[in-house]
Structure 1
């Protein structure tokens, strides 16, 4: 079975290189340590979304039963999105679960994930905290998602113009008060709608 999986993945890797998205660097797939069953996928954030300009990495594990069973994927770049866990990077997407079909490919999954970044489904969330913010305070959700994209997914030379000085100041204050690291402070504030008092309480 593993033989079928590796043959299929080799064919997919060859095909991906021919598509426009790969030429434009919108999506890419590469092997880890020469293994066809252990891949890294990259997608760029779609235009006119809070993820624009970000490059998001995904861990892709190919089961020996591929393509009859779906690949296991998760985001390794931290992201603020209702259908992706802000903690583990786990993804809620039907084609990675019960709607998988052998005709689907890694490329079609990566394109579906790009579409998910452009059109979240907060009523079927992977991250309930993010989904709640998305539905109840959408503008703050957009600002938070942009902030996470700027910090975790944008190239180093592009971060400054996207920084949010109000958020940065609150993160610095919370770190000072609680003695936590920057990411812990960011998570606490993001999860509490950037209310410094509530974020502090959540960490006690």
Structure 2
């Protein structure tokens, strides 16, 4: 990582043409004077650094690496241009693979999913970003467009209308929150949730909250990512709570 006094590194950053940067990362905001771009590289709590690397070979595979979100304290490859800061996300690589990882996702505020924590499994295909990533909920969620058993997501922007202009930030800051806020009961993966939403919306909200309390805790999310059965994990947590009360 370049230090603030790395004049050569600073010069290399500034030599990247703005048109090139915009074409590669059209949605990324680059730092402009009087701000010092290196001041934003200082690690901060709850911030995740989006590492951007350039390569003249296999640019679409390089994009896979660019989109993986890393903690600023993790060992990073040298930065060249552009970066983006995100808050409240944790990313865990699977077998150190940059193409398979888990993202901790929080339910959007002012919805029945508020307060819930889910581990989202992400796989980036070799053709990414020209081909959409595969995503799925590891711990259970009650939603018309999410399969309760497999965690598969029915979302047109991922399954049908994906564009190489989209990235992980779009998925976790826009697409998934919007899906939870505005479910589509007319195209369900969970028929029970869809029927309940259309016929008894208040009961739907209540059942969503029950699932959040039981299956969408931090402990349940971690257990699901580790391959444990959620019902067993829930029972174990209940036993621990009972023991604590007995003491």
Q: Give the alignment's TM-score, normalised by structure 1.
A: 0.68
4+ runs deviating over 6 angstroms:
15-18
Q: Find 1:134's aligned residue among 197, 201, 210.
A: 197
**Cα distance in structure 1, aligned partners of 2:60 and 2:186:** 34
Instruction: Please say if residues 4 and 66 of structure 1, whose CA atoms lie closer than 8 Å, have aligned partners that are also in contact.
Output: no
| 1:151 aligned onto 2:214 | yes
Q: How does 1:187-202 map to 2 (within 5 A)?
A: none
Q: Who is 1:77 aligned against?
A: 139
Q: Find 1:93's aligned residue among 124, 131, 155.
A: 155
- Secondary structure of 1:52's match? coil
Structure 1 gaps of 5+ residues are 157-180, 184-204
Instruction: Please say if residues 78 and 89 of structure 1, whose CA atoms lie closer than 8 Å, have aligned partners that are also in contact.
Output: yes
Q: Who is 1:9 aligned against?
A: 64
Greater helix fraction, Structure 1 or Structure 2: 1
Structure 2 gaps of 5+ residues are 1-56, 73-82, 220-228, 232-247
Q: Who is 1:108 aligned against?
A: 170
Change (3 A) 1:119 1:28: farther
Q: Who is 2:181 aligned against?
A: 118
| 1:55 aligned onto 2:117 | yes
Instruction: Please say if residues 83 and 122 of structure 1, whose CA atoms lie closer than 8 Å, have aligned partners that are also in contact.
Output: yes
Q: Who is 1:45 aligned against?
A: 107
How much does 1:155 deviate? Answer: 3.8
Deviations 1:85-120 (A, max 9, x none): 111111010111110001110221122111211111
**Cα distance in structure 1, aligned partners of 2:84 and 2:107:** 18
Instruction: Please say if residues 68 and 98 of structure 2, whose CA atoms lie closer than 8 Å, have aligned partners that are also in contact.
Output: no
Instruction: Please say if residues 44 and 52 of structure 1, whose CA atoms lie closer than 8 Å, have aligned partners that are also in contact.
Output: yes
